[in-house]
């Protein structure tokens, strides 16, 4: 696969393949980015809706983002697919803001629920696929086109947003059959949507998978989540969320689970036991003190289950993370101020891996 905006692509591809196979070259897999000066700027449309739905603007913006950064180590130049229809499937009303899109609560009564079998294929889905097709054609041979953020919003979180979080939590007790039926149908739709986007992207000559992080996987990868899980018990997680994870993980060769915030940690071992899981992506959540090292116990719990952890860190934390964690089962993301700083960090990472782990992985 050609990727002309990634100078070290053959080497990065080799390291990515090692990571997904549970191996290592000479250091952990790393995502290192640095800014280009001056950044490329494109003028935003005055209307927020145009910003998120204009195909022309999204193409120009994606190119500007990639031209404004250096992608070092295994970081892959790509911009995730558009948010043109964030959660709009099933006809949900959208609010367009300058920095995000929000779907308003609209499922007021279970007796007036959407037609789960058909309503996912609405204007939002059709517009998103049209935009993905334009982005894939524009980026071909230069940088990667990733799955849109919409495909990382799991059915359980989407349903909670349709219903309203508080009502959804009550529904788990008062309307469990309705919730289960809706989630079962939405999971089936999610699988079809994944397949459709996979086929679309690969019809333009792309190989593998990418998403909002600058990652790449040679096989089918899925990033799944349950942000609502921080508010439910292990028993409810088992009943309502685990079946979704089992179905979604079965769609792909490697599954990544987006673990968001301390309240969700109680479920991490259970997620690690679901067949197909490869990586736990840790996000500390709002209000947490900066720094990765305070979560070292969590990272070790994940690795003790034989799984990898994807985490963001500061450059000064990399040595400790390499010393304390199995380098085969960690994917480190960090930003640096310049290419020179990034190259020094990568050279240090090779030396630290040799110093702390010797030749045991060769």
This prediction's pTM: 0.94
Q: Is residue 163 part of a domain?
A: yes
When pLDDT is averaged across residues 153-164 and rounded to a whole number, the result is 91
Segment of 144-158, 211-225, 260-274 carrying the highest mean pLDDT: 260-274
Q: Is residue 3 part of a domain?
A: no
Q: Is residue 362 part of a domain?
A: no
Closest CA to 72 of 311, 345, 361: 345
Q: Give residue 327's pLDDT.
A: 97
Closest CA to 247 of 154, 347, 336: 154
Q: Is residue 297 part of a domain?
A: yes
Q: Give residue 86's pLDDT.
A: 54
**Over the stretch 42-91, which tens digit does the pLDDT of each residue have?**
999 999 999 988 999 988 998 898 889 999 999 998 866 666 555 567 88
Confidence band, pLDDT 50/70/90 cuts, at residue 211? confident
Report the domain count for the chain: 1
Q: Give residue 90's pLDDT.
A: 87
- The beta strand positions in 5-164, using DSSP E, are 29-35, 69-73, 78-80, 94-96, 101-103, 144-146
Q: Is residue 223 part of a domain?
A: yes
Alpha-carbon gap, residue 197 to 186, rounded angstroms: 16
When pLDDT is averaged across residues 175-198 and rounded to a whole number, the result is 94
Provide the pairing of β-strand 69-73 with 78-80. unpaired
Q: Give residue 23's pLDDT.
A: 95
Across 32-36, 147-151, 292-296, 348-352, least confident range: 147-151
pLDDT of residue 153 exceeding 90, the answer is: no
Q: Torsions phi, psi of 47, nearest 5?
A: -90, 120
Q: Give residue 151's pLDDT.
A: 80
> In terms of DSSP H, where are the helices of 164-274?
165-174, 176-202, 234-236, 242-249, 268-272
CATH number at residue 295: 3.20.20.210
Domain enclosing residue 186, as ranges: 9-357
Helix-then-strand count for the chain, H and E:
13, 11
When pLDDT is averaged across residues 87-101 and rounded to a whole number, the result is 82
Q: Is residue 102 part of a domain?
A: yes
Q: Across all residues in the chain, what is the average pLDDT?
A: 92
When pLDDT is averaged across residues 324-351 and rounded to a whole number, the result is 98
Closest CA to 146 of 196, 192, 215, 63: 215
**Over the stretch 233-276, which tens digit does the pLDDT of each residue have?**
999 999 999 999 999 999 999 999 999 999 999 999 999 999 99
Q: Is residue 271 part of a domain?
A: yes
Q: Give residue 93's pLDDT.
A: 85
Confidence band, pLDDT 50/70/90 cuts, at residue 2? confident
Q: Is residue 2 part of a domain?
A: no
**SS3 for 73?**
strand
Q: Give residue 175's pLDDT.
A: 97
Segment of 78-87, 135-144, 208-217, 252-261 carrying the highest mean pLDDT: 252-261
Confidence band, pLDDT 50/70/90 cuts, at residue 138? confident
Q: Give residue 359's pLDDT.
A: 67
């Amino acid at each position: 696969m050609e990727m002309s905006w990634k100078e070290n692509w053959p080497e990065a591809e080799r390291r990515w393949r090692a990571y997904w196979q549970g191996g290592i070259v000479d250091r952990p897999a790393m995502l290192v980015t640095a800014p280009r000066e001056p950044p490329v700027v494109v003028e935003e449309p005055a209307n927020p809706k145009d910003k998120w739905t204009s195909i022309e603007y999204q193409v120009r913006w994606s190119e500007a983002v990639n031209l404004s950064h250096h992608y070092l180590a295994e970081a892959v130049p790509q911009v995730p697919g558009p948010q043109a229809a964030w959660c709009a499937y099933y006809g949900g009303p959208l609010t367009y803001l300058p920095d995000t899109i929000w779907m308003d609560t609209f499922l007021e009564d279970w007796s007036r629920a959407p037609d789960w079998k058909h309503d996912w294929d609405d204007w939002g889905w059709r517009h998103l696929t049209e935009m993905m097709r334009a982005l894939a054609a524009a980026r071909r041979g230069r940088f990667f086109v990733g799955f849109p953020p919409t495909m990382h919003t799991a059915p359980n979180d989407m349903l909670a947003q349709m219903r309203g979080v508080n009502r959804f939590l009550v529904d788990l007790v008062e309307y469990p059959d309705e919730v289960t039926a809706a989630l079962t149908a939405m999971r089936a739709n999610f699988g079809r949507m994944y397949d459709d986007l996979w086929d679309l992207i690969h019809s333009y000559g792309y190989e593998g998978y990418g998403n909002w992080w600058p990652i790449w996987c040679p096989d089918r990868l899925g990033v799944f989540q349950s942000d609502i899980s921080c508010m439910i018990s292990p028993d409810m997680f088992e009943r309502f969320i685990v079946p979704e994870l089992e179905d979604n993980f079965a769609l792909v060769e490697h599954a990544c689970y987006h673990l968001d915030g301390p309240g969700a940690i109680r479920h991490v071992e259970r997620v690690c036991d679901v067949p197909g899981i490869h990586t736990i992506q840790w996000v500390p959540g709002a209000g947490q003190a900066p720094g990765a090292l305070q979560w070292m116990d969590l990272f070790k719990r994940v690795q003790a289950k034989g799984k990898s952890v994807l985490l963001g860190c500061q450059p000064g934390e990399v040595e400790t993370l390499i010393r304390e964690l199995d380098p085969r089962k960690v994917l480190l993301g960090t930003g640096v101020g310049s290419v020179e700083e990034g190259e020094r960090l990568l050279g240090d990472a090779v030396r630290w891996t040799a110093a702390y782990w010797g030749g045991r992985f060769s």
